[in-house]
């Protein structure tokens, strides 16, 4: 699909974007926010952020579709700079609002033009005052970008010798290579990839040590013993470390059960790391037309309103499916207040593509409904709500394919896909949060060197996966390098919470149509309010124990 056609709902061309960019830039630099005219300030700010969102979404999508185009990247940086400018230009205004918050709430509550801001200032406005020195240091270091630059310093990941031929594997080819039917090929790719990354282990460890030291220091300032304690306590469940460790024990046991079922389905005498991503690469050819049919059939239980949006997504071409060497690998959905949401992915006509599509549609459609929430202030949903929407789509789809209609797809592939879904959405997030916990705790005792990280990572992973039929690979102790991509292990706790909510909503098979109705409120309703309206308890222990039991019941029938 041509880029201009794909992005036409935002801008017909880059030239038109440039024109709007200059107008918005001028508007930002010329605007003055006086505390004497609150109505003007709030309406003007809302307008500016709406304009910036449109500019940012378009140029971000252009960047993702043209990852080697430095000119486009420069434009993205220009937009990010404008966000910084408007942030500092409104500093005096925001400090005034903090000091007079009750008065401001009264003003917006009685002014029809401003009434939509009431929820924002009552529930969402950041009330804390002053600069956060450590957070500023962290953002100035831009560790995520430095880590990513080191990880992806070139497209090349590793080289293997296969059937007397040298084959180069690029970063964006790794998952495809690990789903190759030839087990010897998969093993060679996995081991060589880890060994290649291990060459720069000292450099990666240097960044990771700084990351955990700064995060720990900030958490200590806030009254926590470690970064991991803060992450656990500030999630929707307000988890205590002891609670988490209790639940980890059950997940470790389940992990070994999942691995052994996979081993038996594949008829292997043993299983190892290079088998973790394999789901049987069959000759099934899933067309986009077939994918649309399957997805609409499966998601029909979410209600007519939801299915109408699914139909719009296909008809209006919200998804960029084409593969290109210039296109960022992976898949992602993008919210847009000024247009429909967007999805970028690579369509390979296989089962993995089908589940990637239904996952990203979940996030995109949730964001679409959130646009009905009156203002850009509420339209960007929390990570937890977006991931919940994505996970429940996947859970509904795998249940539909396994127990209702498999559309001629290989049943063993579907069974393996269920195991894969449980691994990626539930088990591995528990592994990563456990790794975050031990590394943040050990960082308090001293520097995290390469060798120390190897030991802590290896022992944690083995505690989840090692059993009598699992074969270890010594160099896997370096796989923390890939695992820390994005330096966002804390994100995995959101995965855990979202999966628990999605799995429990599905198991009880009620409130399906309520899901999209609640999304229409956007961030006007908090995560606690949203999920409290869908399920009967927000107790982490109860939800996780129920999930473990129900998953084991499912596995018995495989």
pLDDT in tens, 361-398: 999 999 999 999 989 999 999 999 999 999 999 999 99
Per the DSSP assignment, residues forming a β-bridge with 161 are: 166
325 and 430 housed in the same domain? no
pLDDT band at 558 (very low <50, low <70, confident <90, very high): confident
Q: Is the per-residue pLDDT at 130 higher than 70?
A: no
Residue 222 within a domain: yes
pLDDT band at 535 (very low <50, low <70, confident <90, very high): very high
Mapping DSSP to helix (H, G, I), strand (E, B) and coil, where does residue 257 land? Answer: helix
Which of 83, 100, 126 is at the close of a domain?
Answer: 126
pLDDT band at 80 (very low <50, low <70, confident <90, very high): very high
DSSP 37: -
Residue 377 within a domain: yes
Pairing of strands 342-344, 332-334: antiparallel
Helix, strand, coil distribution of the chain in percent, nearest 5? 70, 5, 25
- Cα separation of 521 and 515, whole Å? 11
Where b means 16+ CB within 10 Å and e means fewer, 474-489 reads ebbbbbbbebbeebeb
427 touches 254 (CB < 8 A):
yes
> Smallest Cα–Cα separation from 353: which of 386, 319, 399?
319
pLDDT band at 511 (very low <50, low <70, confident <90, very high): confident
Residue 554 within a domain: no
| HSE-up of residue 259 (Cα within 13 Å, Cβ side) | 25
Cα angle value 84/85/87 (rounded, 5°): 65
Mapping DSSP to helix (H, G, I), strand (E, B) and coil, where does residue 160 land? Answer: strand
Q: Is the per-residue pLDDT at 338 higher than 90?
A: yes
20 and 101 housed in the same domain? yes
Q: What is the number of other CB atoms lying within 10 angstroms of the CB of residue 299?
A: 23
273 and 365 housed in the same domain? no
The total of structural domains in the chain comes to 3
Average pLDDT value for residue range 87-95: 92
12 and 149 housed in the same domain? no
99 and 193 housed in the same domain? no
Who wins on pLDDT, 374 or 358?
358
272 touches 472 (CB < 8 A):
yes
| HSE-up of residue 322 (Cα within 13 Å, Cβ side) | 12
301 and 364 housed in the same domain? yes
Q: Is the per-residue pLDDT at 127 higher than 70?
A: no
42 and 159 housed in the same domain? no
Phi, psi of 194 (to 5 degrees): -65, -45
384 and 425 housed in the same domain? no
Alpha helices in 31-151 (DSSP H): 38-65, 70-89, 91-99, 101-110, 118-119, 133-141, 143-151
327 touches 355 (CB < 8 A):
no
pLDDT band at 252 (very low <50, low <70, confident <90, very high): very high
Residue 538 within a domain: no
- Per-residue pLDDT of 39-53, as tens digits, reads 999 999 999 999 999
Average pLDDT value for residue range 442-466: 97
Average pLDDT value for residue range 58-67: 94
Burial class (CB in 10 A: 0-12, 13-18, 19+), 332: middle
Torsion of CA 108, 113, 115, 120, to 10 degrees: -80
Where b means 16+ CB within 10 Å and e means fewer, 195-227 reads ebbbeebeebbbbbbbbbbbbbbbbbeeebebb
35 and 114 housed in the same domain? yes
- CATH number for the domain spanning 39: value is 1.20.140.70
Residue 223 within a domain: yes
Cα→Cα distances 119→104, 114, 116, 510, 528, Å: 12, 11, 7, 28, 15
Token code pair at residue 194: 């880890």
E strands, 236-363, are: 271-272, 319-320, 332-334, 342-344
Residue 536 within a domain: no
183 and 305 housed in the same domain? no
Residue 541 within a domain: no
- Cα separation of 50 and 54, whole Å? 6
pTM score:
0.95
Residue 495 within a domain: no
485 and 378 housed in the same domain? no
151 and 257 housed in the same domain? yes
| Residue range(s) defining the domain that contains residue 210 | 143-280+415-490
Token code pair at residue 169: 């594997």
Q: Is the per-residue pLDDT at 406 higher than 80?
A: yes
Average pLDDT value for residue range 473-492: 93
């Amino acid at each position: 699909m041509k880029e201009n056609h794909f992005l036409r709902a935002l801008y017909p061309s880059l030239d038109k974007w440039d024109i709007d960019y200059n107008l918005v830039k001028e508007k930002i630099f010329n605007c003055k926010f006086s505390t004497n005219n609150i109505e003007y300030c709030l309406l003007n700010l809302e307008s500016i952020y709406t304009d910036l969102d449109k500019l940012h979404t378009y140029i971000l999508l252009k960047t993702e579709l043209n990852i080697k185009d430095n000119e486009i990247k420069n434009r993205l940086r220009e937009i990010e700079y404008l966000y910084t400018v408007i942030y500092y230009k409104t500093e005096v205004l925001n400090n005034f609002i903090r000091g007079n918050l009750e008065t401001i709430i009264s003003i917006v509550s009685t002014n029809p033009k401003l009434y939509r801001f009431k929820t924002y200032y009552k529930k969402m406005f950041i009330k804390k005052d002053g600069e956060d020195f450590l957070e500023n240091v962290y953002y100035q270091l831009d560790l995520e970008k430095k880590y990513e630059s080191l990880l992806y310093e070139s497209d090349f990941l590793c080289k293997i010798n296969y059937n007397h031929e040298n084959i180069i594997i690029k970063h964006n080819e790794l998952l495809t290579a690990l789903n190759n039917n030839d087990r010897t090929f998969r093993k060679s790719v996995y081991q060589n990839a880890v060994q290649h990354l291990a060459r720069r282990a000292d450099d990666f460890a240097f960044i990771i040590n700084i990351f955990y030291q700064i995060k720990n220091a900030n958490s200590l300032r806030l009254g926590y013993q470690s970064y991991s304690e803060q992450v656990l306590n500030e999630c929707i469940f307000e988890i205590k470390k002891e609670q988490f460790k209790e639940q980890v024990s059950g997940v470790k046991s389940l992990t070994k059960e999942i691995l052994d079922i996979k081993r038996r389905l594949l008829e292997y005498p043993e299983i190892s790391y290079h088998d973790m991503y394999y789901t049987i690469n069959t000759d099934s050819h899933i067309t986009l037309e077939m994918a649309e049919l399957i997805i609409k059939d499966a998601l029909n239980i979410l209600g007519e309103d939801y299915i109408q949006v699914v139909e719009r997504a296909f008809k209006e071409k919200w998804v960029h499916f084409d593969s290109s060497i210039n296109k960022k690998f992976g898949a992602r959905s993008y919210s847009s207040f000024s247009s429909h949401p967007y999805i970028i992915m690579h369509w390979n006509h296989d089962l993995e593509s089908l589940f990637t599509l239904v996952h990203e549609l979940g996030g995109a459609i949730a964001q679409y409904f959130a646009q009905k929430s009156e203002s850009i202030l509420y339209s960007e949903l929390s990570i937890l709500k977006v991931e919940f929407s994505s996970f429940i789509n996947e859970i509904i789809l795998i249940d539909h394919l396994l127990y209702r209609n498999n559309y001629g797809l290989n049943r063993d592939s579907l069974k393996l896909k269920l195991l894969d879904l449980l691994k990626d959405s539930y088990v591995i997030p528990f592994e990563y949060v456990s790794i975050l916990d031990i590394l943040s705790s050990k960082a308090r005792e001293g520097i995290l060197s390469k060798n120390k990280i190897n030991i802590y990572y290896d022992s944690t992973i083995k505690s989840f996966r090692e059993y009598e039929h699992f074969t270890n690979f010594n160099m896997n102790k370096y796989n923390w390098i890939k695992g820390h991509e994005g330096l966002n292990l804390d994100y995995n706790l959101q995965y855990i919470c979202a999966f628990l909510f999605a799995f429990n909503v599905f198991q009880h098979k009620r409130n399906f149509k309520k899901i999209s109705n609640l999304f229409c409120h956007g961030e006007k309703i908090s995560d606690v309010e949203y999920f409290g309206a869908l399920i009967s308890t927000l107790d982490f222990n109860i939800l996780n124990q129920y999930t473990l039991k129900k998953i084991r019941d499912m596995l018995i029938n495989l």
